[in-house]
Structure 1
Amino acid sequence: MAELYGESPLTSRTHALDRDSAPQAVRLTEIAFTPQIGLRVDPKSSAAERISTAIGAMLPHQPDSAVHTGDLLVLALGPDEWLLVGREGTAGALQATLTAALGEDHGAVVDVSAQRTIIGVSGPMSRDLLNQGCALDLHPRAFGEGRCAQTLLARTGVVVVCRDAELPSFWLLVRSSFARYTADWLADAATEYRTTVPAAPGAAANDYAVCS
């Protein structure tokens, strides 16, 4: 009998992401095998209240917002649509918790973990890298921690999540079928930062020196 094993959409790109990262400027990594549960429910319903109690945080009502509760990240993708991203190995338990809280009320709980993978982009030049292919205003005043958005990056649909506005650090949730293309684009766009280092203390935030 064949032995079953799991392989992430970017297994073949792990080396490229590491090779084309520039540790002092931008870092690219895959956050693989993250449980992702899609939730649809009326935000004003008693089911929404029960779900909020079950996960330990209110479902964010403002689209393009995100909340953290323990190891769970809740993304508001629409007026009655959320994506819950959890810790590896918890998909079944999370889906069961949401299904039980939904009860007989109208709504849907769907495990979409295989639909997307996550690419982490972090470091002082990460905003510059993303803005090479994304029209979002990623300045921390406009897109700080607790924000997410569905947008296009290099003509590919992604969900961008701001994980840390100061570092900064972002997650890109990308469909598995487009993951390799997106990873290759990011790796190629990041090559210019392999020869840049942050400016000395006291210099302007966007001043970078080029190493020979």
Structure 2
Amino acid sequence: MSDLAQVTRVAACGMITLRGDLGSAKLTKAVKAVTGQAMPTSGQFLGDATSGVAWMSPDELLLVVPYADVAQNVAQIDKVLVGHHYLAVDVSDARAVFNVSGVRARDVLARLCPVDLHPDSFGVGQFRRTRMAQVAAAFWMHDTGFEVVCFQSVGHYAQDLLAQAAKNATGTGFYAPDM
């Protein structure tokens, strides 16, 4: 039997939690300056694996940036938002990131997360915060699969979960083999 998908741990992914008034023009300017992206809407991820922004809650975003640029990007946010109420924190080392790719990547996550992953319900650029088995996780879909984020403290457990869910060529039977 072959694996349903490939699970790869992503090394050194830069992440910044940004909290504040998401309707603020200044906050939108800071997001654009750091990621090159517009303000996402609820349940949306804008960008790619190296730079992007995810909507986490009505007052929180997750900015994905190159790991080496995190401190510089936090300083840039501080400069743009001086005098405004906000929080910008480097959470890179507190998070584990996995790439789940392949024709059955949906099946892998469907085995672990209570999310409707049917292609009519979940597509490229969509983002969810959820549970993955017993741990908090979030993921977004891109052209070749999903990026999955969880706390670093449960990273080994999450990697084992994803690897186990990727085994077995039959899949869940819920989704067509194409993305």
Asked if Structure 1 and Structure 2 have the same fold, meaning a TM-score greater than 0.5 normalized by the shorter chain, the answer is yes
Match of 1:153 among 108, 132, 137: 132
Compare 106-115 and 132-141 and name the one that shifted more.
132-141
Count, aligned residues: 174
Shift of 1:49: 3.6
SS where residue 168 of structure 2 aligns? helix
In structure 2, the residue matched to 1:183 is 159
Higher RCO structure, 1 or 2 (CA under 8 Å, sep 6+): 2
In structure 2, the residue matched to 1:45 is 24
Work out the CA distance in 2 between the residues paired with 1:45 and 1:92.
23
Shift of 1:53: 4.3
SS where residue 163 of structure 2 aligns? helix
* Bigger Rg, which one: 1
Contact 1:57–1:69 (CA under 8 A) maintained in structure 2 = no
In structure 2, the residue matched to 1:57 is 37
In structure 1, the residue matched to 2:14 is 35
In structure 2, the residue matched to 1:115 is 94
In structure 1, the residue matched to 2:69 is 90
Shift of 1:132: 1.0
Deviations 1:66-105 (A, max 9, x none): 1117941100001121000112311111111111111110
5+ residue gaps, structure 1, are: 1-20, 197-203, 208-212
SS where residue 90 of structure 1 aligns? helix
Q: TM-score, with normalisation over the residues of structure 1?
A: 0.74
Shift of 1:57: 2.5
In structure 2, the residue matched to 1:144 is 123
Contact 1:161–1:171 (CA under 8 A) maintained in structure 2 = yes
Q: TM-score, with normalisation over the residues of structure 2?
A: 0.87
Work out the CA distance in 1 between the residues paired with 2:103 and 2:88.
37
Work out the CA distance in 2 between the residues paired with 1:147 and 1:36.
18
Which amino acid in 1 is paired with 2:67?
A: E
Once the two structures are aligned, what percentage of the paired residues are identical?
Answer: 31
Work out the CA distance in 2 between the residues paired with 1:178 and 1:109.
23
Work out the CA distance in 1 between the residues paired with 2:10 and 2:23.
33
Compare 120-129 and 48-57 and name the one that shifted more.
48-57
Which amino acid in 2 is paired with 1:59?
A: M
Contact 2:15–2:67 (CA under 8 A) maintained in structure 1 = no
